[in-house]
Structure 1
Amino acid sequence: MKKKIYVTRQLPDEVMERLHEQFEVKVWNDPDEPVPRNVLLEEVADVDGLFCMLSETIDEEVFQHAPQLKIVANLAVGYNNIDIGAAKNRNITVTNTPGVLTETTADLTFALLMATARRLVETSEIVRNGEWGAWAPMHFTGQDIHGKTLGIVGLGRIGEAVAKRATGFDMNILYHNRSRNEQAEARIGAKYSEMDDLLQRSDYIVLLLPYSTSNHHLIGKREIDLMKEDAIVINTSRGGLVDEDALYEALEQRKIWGAGLDVFEQEPLPKDDRLLTSKYVTVSPHIGSASIATRLQMCHLVCDNLIHVLSGDEPLTPVT
């Protein structure tokens, strides 16, 4: 008899076909909207596995409604949407999708850095709105990228991939981790820096670390006050790392030059959020891993984890 799984969002046909070959599958069929909480609690009642997204909160209440649940397979590297402690207490395996999205997320991070520095979104709208007037020496000027100092907070896989891209622009690379990454230093010439020193010296501060309650609002007013007036903050990790109120105030008061944000404390970002009123912010809708090839690889890795665990084997990418 096939094991039962619940999938919280409609997936590409090739992924759904693979799941149906292996399992008895129930799925929330709206491809765009998250599964309602009451539906999720009802649907997990008799499932062995859960294929979920960052948009779902998987906590003790879910586990109480899912007495047969053996694995929560998350379509993301991050897993702050899952109560890991509660899962462990119930011997429920939690998996994520590291590795396969490293290069794609690094691409997006550097693209966001470049777009913010050169004001690409703002100036594109000027052209589209018919506001492109006569040439003037300082119209539409942005910041240089080549030869500048890049400060990476979190030199893991993605951080190192971003640093590798920065070497092509002859950037000076600083990084801060809880521990030094001497192998990465040797590979890419990055220099370890204490956090405050990195904030003071960097032209670009890029956040590439997991979110936890211990680093909530890692970048707040105190940290922003340490930055250069022409500094740019880039966040493609998790929204909770940045105090968005402090960031907005600093941008509007011109204490720093700009910010590029792919992630936010509340997602989707409300259309009346005041960050959207600032011309100094470049935004994208949490698309770090959103290339066709990478999203399919992520989906297949989730499938692999479900197949392994529900066949009695070890997970490929467990969250420990």
Structure 2
Amino acid sequence: MRAIWKGAVSFGLVNVPVKLYSATENHDVQFRQVHREDGGRIRYRRVCSIDGEEVAYDDIAKGYETEDGEMVVLTDDDLAELPTSSSREIAVDKFVPTEQIDPMLFDKSYYLEPDKAAVKPYVLLREALSQADRVALVTVSLRTRMTVAVLRVHDDVITLQTLLWPDELRQADFGVLSEAADEEVKPAEQAMAQMLVESLAGDYDPEEYEDDYAAAVQELVQTKLEGGEVKAAPEPEEAGGEVVDLLAALQQSVARAKKGRGEDVPDEVAEAGDAGEVEEEAPAKKAAAKKSPAKKTATSKAPAKKTAAKKSTAKKSTAKKSPAKKSASKKAS
């Protein structure tokens, strides 16, 4: 395991240097969106919902949407003024009875590992928690935000479990239960329900349960692999073609800049610039040639062509699909 945080637990005058490890991992089945015909990965672009143009990563800011749909844009300077914390201390505030912490408040779990020189105070805190049947209520700064958590013992290891804020728990406001408040349960029904509980009483054994869906997916995938039902990833094209594309894009940019200032443009540069203008004036041809890595790269380098690139995307369904060309398109993007 790899430590995700380093700091120290402090209680009283005692400091225990520790490392933080994630105590859980997600085993949910993960699928990818792919092209049905050739298995190519589906890529998404950052497009503005107002002008429809692709937005560079540097031009993306954080926005807060109000309940009535208004958007408040927050700058880096705004965010810098927010209260953040970079403390490396897990400060014990108090030791509280275990039953006072509602399990609904538990969020994420982490393991705490002591430094080699801090094993003794670590064991001291572990034994104190175990014998007192209490959990340590602490504050800790994770990802620059201060949060409340508890320390408790699990399998001789001190664990840290972050807690949700009380207002993050939703209220179970069900009208049907309110209407049924006057429903009376007969003693015979209550006795029979209790008998059912006793007949199904037992101990929790995690080995008795299995994620049958994940197992079925793995079996299905293995069957397809053994049957040869695999979409081979297209071979990437040589990097040499990209150099030519970059040169063409630079020539077009120089030609446009010089024309805009009214300066003379060298013949070879003018030809490259004219070629770029022809592409922009003929979106139909651009759509047909969308799979060409040369034109794709030129488009990405020239912001003025964003609109034309968008139109060609709309005509993707009419373009002939080819695994080799699709790979070039992915690589250029």
Q: TM bucket by the smaller chain? A: under 0.3
**More strand by proportion, 1 or 2?**
2
**More helix by proportion, 1 or 2?**
2
The structure that has the greater radius of gyration is 2
Higher relative CO (Cα under 8 Å, sequence separation at least 6) belongs to 1
